[in-house]
Amino acid sequence: MSYAGPGFEPPQPPRHSVRRPLAVALAVLVLGGTGGWFVWGAVADDGDRDGESLAGSGGVYPSLSPIGPPDFAADPSRPATPLAGKVVVVDPGHNPGNFKHPAEIARKVNIGTNSKECDTTGTATNSGYTEAEFTLDVARRLRTVLEREGATVKFTQDGDRSDHVFGPCVDERARIGNSAHADAVVSIHADGSAQGNRGFHVILPGAVREGAADTRPIVASSRLLGERVKAGFVRETGSAPSNYIGGGTGLDTRTDLGGLNLSTVPKVFIECGNMRDSKDAALLTSGTWRQEAAQGISEGIVSFLRGS
Cβ atoms of 111 and 258 within 8 Å: the answer is yes
Q: Which of 12-26, 59-73, 108-122 has the lowest mean pLDDT?
A: 59-73
Does residue 59 carry a pLDDT above 60? no
Distance, CA of 300 to chain centre: 6
Q: Which residue has the higher pLDDT, 41 or 270?
A: 270
H or E stretch covering 115? strand 115-117
User: Which of 137, 232, 121 has its CA nearest to residue 184?
Assistant: 232
Cα-Cα-Cα-Cα torsion 159, 164, 167, 172, nearest 10 degrees, comes to -110
Q: Residue 68 pLDDT more than 80?
A: no
CB 62 within 8 A of CB 54: yes
**pTM for this predicted structure:** 0.75
Under the banding of pLDDT at 50, 70 and 90, the label for residue 82 is confident
Active site residue 271: yes
- Dist CA 153 CA 86 (whole Å): 9
Q: What does the pLDDT look like over 195-210, one tens digit per residue?
A: 999 999 999 999 999 9
The phi and psi torsions of 115 (rounded to 5 degrees) equal: -105, 150
What percentage of residues in the chain have a pLDDT greater than 70? 73
pLDDT at 69 over 90: no
Report the candidate in 133, 135, 136 with the shortest Cα–Cα distance to residue 272. Answer: 135
Give the pLDDT confidence score for residue 43 in this predicted structure: 32
- Tell me the average pLDDT across 275-286: 98
Judge whether residue 276 has pLDDT over 70: yes
**Band (50; pLDDT cuts 50, 70, 90):** very low
Output the pLDDT for position 160: 72
Chain centroid, CA 157 distance in Å: 18
Geometric angle at alpha carbon 296, from 295 and 299, rounded to 5°: 85
pLDDT reported for residue 78: 57
List where CATH 3.40.630.40 sits in the chain: 87-306
Grade residue 159 by pLDDT with cuts at 50, 70 and 90.
confident
Q: At 209, which helix (H) or strand (E)?
A: strand 209-210
Residue 81 pLDDT more than 90?
A: no
Position 38: which residue type? F
- CB under 8 Å to 204, separation ≥6 — which residues? 219, 222, 223, 226, 251, 252, 253, 254, 260, 268
Is residue 168 reached through a cis peptide bond, with omega within 30 degrees of 0 on the bond before it? yes
In this structure, are residues 264 and 171 in contact, taking their beta carbons and an 8 Å threshold? no
Looking at per-residue pLDDT, the higher value among 79 and 8 belongs to 79
Confidence band of 142 (pLDDT split at 50, 70, 90): very high
- Residue 63 burial (CB < 10 Å; 0-12/13-18/19+)? exposed
Q: Is the pLDDT of residue 288 over 90?
A: yes
Instruction: Extract long-range pairs of 76-81: CB within 8 Å, 24+ residues apart.
Output: 79/150, 80/150, 81/149, 81/150
Which residue out of 133, 227, 271, 292 is catalytically annotated?
Answer: 271
What pLDDT score was predicted for residue 278? 98
**Residue 135: which of 197, 191, 195 has the closest Cα?**
191
292, 299 Cβ separation under 8 angstroms: no
CATH number belonging to domain 87-306: 3.40.630.40
